[in-house]
A and B are shown apart, each in its own frame.
Chain A
Amino acid sequence: MNPTERILAVLDGKPVDRLQTFYPGFDAWPTQQVLGKPLISGEAIFRNPLTRKIFDKWGPKLVNLVTDPAINADFMKAIQAAIAVGFDLVWVGPTEGQVMVWNSTTLLRYSGSFYELTVDGHGNMYYMYREPAFNTTEDYYAWPYFVKPDDAAQKSYKFFTKAMKKYGDKICVMPQVQGLHETMVLSLGFVNMAVFVKKEPQLLQHFIAYLEAYAMKLCMAMLDAGVKVILLGDDFSNKTGPSMNPKINDELFGASYQRITKAVHDRGGRIILHSCGDNTKMFDYFIKWGFDGGHAYENTSNVDIYKEKERHGDQFTIVGGVGVDYLLTEHSKPHEVEEGVKKLIDALAPGGRFIIGPVHTHPDMDMSKVKIMMETVRRHGNYPI
């Protein structure tokens, strides 16, 4: 079996020789701990007064020349780092060019949200959600920056064709597609989202139709590029439970997701849902919508990953498990990492449908602890478990 065949087998509930491992390759610093830091840091470049002036004046025009290539180079490095550490599955992306540098302090996501440009404490540029772009119905319908799904799909196809050619035989490459619910919340703001469910259902349907078309085109382009497993990123929950009533989520997004997962399955692909927070009340819907597995099960939320193994472990693959709040940080002790990982293996690996890895991407993830996680998997993760 090659890496992708192994991951497909796990997602289908079929036996494999050893527990599979997952790397969320989203943040720069973890990757740099493996491959080395760049000679000049992103922070040094971006904080330079001349650069700031350039971005203040021409930021939106530098997408093709600077922003997209820089972001995609980092994602390609994330794949290299994952291979170097020995992972089986890597989360990559989004690579279709979702953002532009609005000015020297702000990123704009084309789907309608603004982000504070900040730093990660390790010399890299970082971002933090600031505000929605659509405060009114008029803002939404007048928005000039929506990307045509075909254009996004072409960019994604180009990236993953290259990635699969270089690394497809070494690791299972899992691209990210933006989720419908989360994108809407970011673009409308949570208050508007809650209000619009009652007062602006037509706008929501219009937005969902666009986002579904976008996600669908991207999924098909990724499959065309040779990818077999896709990660759809859509945070439905917060620490204590779903942000919106699960029934409303189902009414709004269920049909779209069923069409997307069916299309991916019809092409021989598999699709995992990344959703932060406590999704206990959402898992039945995720399964109904056709997702093959879920990532996150954040240990800092109220979700009980062990109970979820009992409830849905025979039909829904659990991806993640290892905390980035402590275990995979510089603060933990090596024996704590080993014990924590062993506990997860013992409880979740029997019966399959489990891929171990960090519960989330995190800019401070300590790769020396990640390597201990991997060594523990090598020692204790061979089936039968």
Chain B
Amino acid sequence: MNDHLAAVVTAIDEMDLDGIEDLVQVCLNSGIGAEEIIEKGISQGLDIVGQKFEEGEYFLGDLVMAGEVVKTGMKRVSAVMDPAKTKQKGKVVIATVEGDIHEIGKNILGMILSTAGWEVIDLGVNVPADTIIETVKSSGAQMIGLSVLLTTMIGAITQVVDGLREAGLREQVRIAIGGACCSQALADKMGVDAYGETAVEGPRIFDRFKEDLASA
């Protein structure tokens, strides 16, 4: 790997918030394109952090810190990116359900998905089912990620599932859930398509959804 890109990977792995901007700039100055910096630098660094999180070496705080490093690096890269040349895997609508205002997990998911090449439409927290469904309709997104932390709010998942069904969209749209109160059993019970225990699983889940939809 190019040394400059390797330095970006290391900076993200080591959560070097102060150094990342300069390292990205060095890459740009040496003629490395924005897309390549994202793909071979930022995204790879984040993959390593995610892997260490899944192996128990890193913790949520490390993921959040790495996310801040990525955000800082992405700002510099985005400034020189040509939107027309940017490849996107697809659109994902993410939201914390109505009645729940927890956002850490959702924000990490959004950051990881964006870096992995997804166009993320983040509706924020405490989002009514109607808003989610309207956004799916207006954006053409075929994937939804719902964050639910509170057991008292799991009914909101059903509202989204039922709402999509009533709108005639359920077959075309895949839904994943995550958050403290969620489990595979809950996902099965609520009739959603996947459960992610951590945000790090997000890219795998949505890549799988994309394949499912392509083969459907």
Q: Which A residues are closer than 8 A to B by beta carbons?
A: 116, 118, 121, 128-130, 190-191, 193-195, 197-199, 238-246, 248, 277, 281, 300-301, 324-325, 362-364
Contact A194 B65 (CB under 8 A): yes
- Interface flags, B32-72, vs A, CB<8A=1, else 0: 00000000000000000000000010111110110110000
Give the number of residue pairs across the A-B interface with Cβ within 8 Å: 68
Whether B158 sits at the interface, judged by CB under 8 Å, is no
Cβ-neighbour of A363 out of B152, B181, B197 (below 8 A): B152
Contact B61 A241 (CB under 8 A): no
- The distance from the CB of B130 to the nearest CB of chain A, in whole angstroms, is 19
Chain B: interface secondary structure?
loop
Q: Knowing A190-B104, A198-B17 are in contact, say whether A325-B151 is a contact too (CB < 8 A).
A: yes
Q: Which residues of A contact B100 (CB under 8 A)?
A: 128
Contact B183 A245 (CB under 8 A): no
What's the Cα separation between A364 and B15 when bound, in Å?
41
19 A-B pairs with CB atoms under 8 Å apart are: A190-B61, A190-B64, A191-B64, A191-B67, A194-B68, A195-B17, A197-B65, A198-B15, A239-B197, A240-B197, A241-B56, A243-B59, A243-B60, A243-B61, A248-B61, A281-B56, A300-B183, A325-B181, A363-B152
Contact A240 B198 (CB under 8 A): yes
- Residue of A116, A128, A129, A193 most packed against chain B (CB within 10 A): A128
Cβ-neighbour of B61 out of A116, A194, A324 (below 8 A): A194
Whether B187 sits at the interface, judged by CB under 8 Å, is no
Contact A193 B101 (CB under 8 A): no
- The distance from the CB of A282 to the nearest CB of chain B, in whole angstroms, is 11
Cβ-neighbour of B60 out of A199, A238, A325 (below 8 A): A238
Contact A193 B17 (CB under 8 A): no
Closest to B67 in A: A191
Closest to A238 in B: B60
Cβ-neighbour of A194 out of B64, B99, B101, B197 (below 8 A): B64
Q: Which residues of B contact A245 (CB under 8 A)?
A: 58-59, 61-62
Whether B80 sits at the interface, judged by CB under 8 Å, is no
Q: Which B residues are closer than 8 A to A by beta carbons?
A: 15, 17, 56, 58-62, 64-65, 67-68, 99-102, 104, 151-152, 180-181, 183, 197-198
Contact B60 A244 (CB under 8 A): yes
Closest to A191 in B: B64
Closest to A193 in B: B61
Closest to A298 in B: B180
What's the Cα separation between A364 and B154 when bound, in Å?
13
Q: Which residues of A contact B59 (CB under 8 A)?
A: 241-246
- The distance from the CB of B200 to the nearest CB of chain A, in whole angstroms, is 10
Contact B183 A199 (CB under 8 A): no
Contact A128 B101 (CB under 8 A): yes
- The distance from the CB of B11 to the nearest CB of chain A, in whole angstroms, is 13
What's the Cα separation between A129 and B103 when bound, in Å?
11
Contact B101 A129 (CB under 8 A): yes
Contact A239 B180 (CB under 8 A): yes
Contact A195 B152 (CB under 8 A): no
Given A193-B61, A195-B17, A243-B61, 16 more A-B residue pairs with CB atoms under 8 Å apart are A118-B99, A128-B101, A190-B60, A191-B67, A194-B62, A194-B64, A198-B65, A238-B60, A241-B59, A243-B60, A277-B180, A300-B151, A300-B180, A301-B180, A325-B151, A364-B152
Closest to B63 in A: A194
- The distance from the CB of A112 to the nearest CB of chain B, in whole angstroms, is 17
What's the Cα separation between A194 and B181 when bound, in Å?
24
Contact B68 A362 (CB under 8 A): no
Contact B68 A191 (CB under 8 A): yes
Q: Which residues of A contact B68 (CB under 8 A)?
A: 191, 194-195
Q: Which residues of B contact A242 (CB under 8 A)?
A: 59-60
Closest to A360 in B: B151
Contact B101 A116 (CB under 8 A): yes
What's the Cα separation between A246 and B57 when bound, in Å?
10
Closest to B56 in A: A241
Cβ-neighbour of B151 out of A121, A198, A243, A362 (below 8 A): A362
What's the Cα separation between A191 and B107 when bound, in Å?
10
What's the Cα separation between A245 and B49 when bound, in Å?
14
Q: Which residues of A contact B183 (CB under 8 A)?
A: 300
Q: Which residues of A contact B65 (CB under 8 A)?
A: 194-195, 197-198
What's the Cα separation between A306 and B166 when bound, in Å?
44
What's the Cα separation between A342 and B67 when bound, in Å?
45
Q: Which residues of A contact B104 (CB under 8 A)?
A: 190-191
